[in-house]
């Protein structure tokens, strides 16, 4: 019998937040001070993966500046439209040379059906990872956030995310040099809802810095 795939959605998200708050006083304090986190989700589409690529190793503001420029240029983002752009046009949308290559590789994989996003939704997390990791420019952080925000899986904790790591250290009052193994150990009691714990920690990070997010 296939293993059940667990997802969060509007009808269970706050319930899962409350469950975690009952397990962890630090998470409870975040919700008490700032309210529930938004349910950050994006459609499971090519356009969303392009945005995740743009978000790699840059600020959210820089990623959205590039993404908005791209949408001004081509409208809804499709593989065919990405492949029709010249290097110069992509540079004008703030794509680095590396990210141009990643976006085009992704577009070719979708067009050739090497990657079928609809099929990913039917796979366990590790099955999604095995397929996506084969694509150039798609690393574990990008896969983690796709699983979290687009496939709405409940148990991801992307230690490649600087904001998440910094928020966890701040909330738990940990030294800056705390190793990743220790951070994973601290997240262990939040299973199988580490995605929701991550969203609560992101919420704390954003509120503390008064960061304005675009949708």
What pLDDT digit, counting tens, does each position of 153-166 carry?
999 999 999 999 99
Residue-range domains of the chain with CATH? 13-39+156-208 (1.10.1670.40), 46-150 (1.10.340.30)
Surface-to-core class of residue 142, CB atoms within 10 Å of its CB (0-12 exposed, 13-18 middle, 19+ buried)? buried
Kindly tell me if the per-residue pLDDT of 81 is higher than 60: yes
pLDDT of residue 214: 65
pLDDT above 70 covers a percentage of the chain that reads: 98
With the C-alpha atoms ordered 75, 80, 86, 88, is the resulting torsion angle positive or negative? positive
Note whether 137 and 98 are within 8 A (CB): yes
Each residue's pLDDT tens digit, 164-208: 999 999 999 999 999 999 999 999 999 999 999 999 999 999 999
pLDDT of residue 41: 97
| Total-model pTM | 0.95
7 φ, ψ (degrees, to nearest 5): -135, 160
Query: In which band, very low, low, confident or very high, does the pLDDT at 1 lie, cut at 50, 70 and 90?
Result: low
137, two tokens: 């420019």
CA angle 17/213/62 to nearest 5° reads: 130
Q: What is the mean pLDDT of residues 102-117?
A: 97
pLDDT of residue 210: 87
Task: Give the gyration radius of the chain's Cα atoms.
Answer: 18
pLDDT of residue 61: 87
pLDDT of residue 212: 79
d(CA 192, CA 174): 23
Note whether 60 and 76 are within 8 A (CB): no
């Amino acid at each position: 019998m296939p293993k059940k795939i667990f997802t969060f959605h509007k009808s269970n998200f706050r319930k899962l937040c409350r469950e975690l708050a009952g397990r962890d006083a630090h998470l409870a304090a975040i919700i008490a001070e700032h309210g529930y986190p938004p349910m950050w989700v994006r459609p499971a589409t090519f356009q969303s993966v392009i945005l995740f690529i743009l978000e790699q190793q840059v600020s959210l503001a820089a990623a959205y500046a590039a993404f908005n420029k791209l949408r001004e240029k081509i409208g809804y983002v499709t593989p065919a439209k990405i492949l029709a752009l010249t290097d110069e046009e992509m540079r004008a949308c703030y794509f680095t040379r590396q990210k141009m290559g990643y976006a085009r590789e992704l577009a070719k994989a979708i067009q050739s059906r090497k990657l079928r996003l609809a099929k990913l939704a039917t796979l366990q997390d590790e099955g999604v990872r095995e397929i996506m990791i084969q694509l150039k420019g798609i690393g574990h952080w990008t896969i983690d956030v796709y699983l979290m925000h687009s496939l709405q899986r409940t148990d991801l904790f992307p230690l490649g995310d600087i904001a998440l790591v910094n928020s966890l250290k701040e909330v738990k009052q940990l030294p800056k040099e705390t190793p990743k193994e220790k951070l994973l150990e601290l997240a262990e009691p939040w299973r199988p809802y580490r995605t929701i714990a991550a969203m609560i920690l992101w919420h704390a990070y954003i509120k503390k810095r008064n960061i304005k997010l675009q949708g």
